[in-house]
Amino acid sequence: MSIKRIMTKRLCLSLGAALAVSIVLAAQRSGSTLNVEGQGIVYVYFPSLCAAPRDSRDCHEIPRTSRPSFESMAACSAHADAELRQEQNPRLMASCMKQREG
């Protein structure tokens, strides 16, 4: 088997495409994940109590003196999940809303 026979156009194109995809994935992975939305954006946690379990049609925000805020939606969602697990109330719902600091 000769090298010329092994190195066909199809093989070279496949290797080139695989290399390009690998480079793009590596570049995305190494990028910063801190507040990609911009400066001054936070995610604020809002708990609500609903009239019926797991039904978001009739809910009212639970008043609090302060609301926790987070740098990312993932962090806010993790906090919401932990609080909902702790409360174990099917009428309790949570949301995270993006807001500008200030």
pLDDT per position as a tens digit, 4-28? 665 677 777 777 777 777 877 777 7
SS3 33: coil
**Considering only 37-41, 59-63, 90-94, which range has the smallest mean pLDDT?**
37-41
pTM for the predicted model, two decimal places: 0.57
SS3 44: strand
Query: How many alpha carbons fall within 13 Å on the CB side of residue 55?
Result: 5
d(CA 68, CA 44): 6
d(CA 48, CA 97): 13
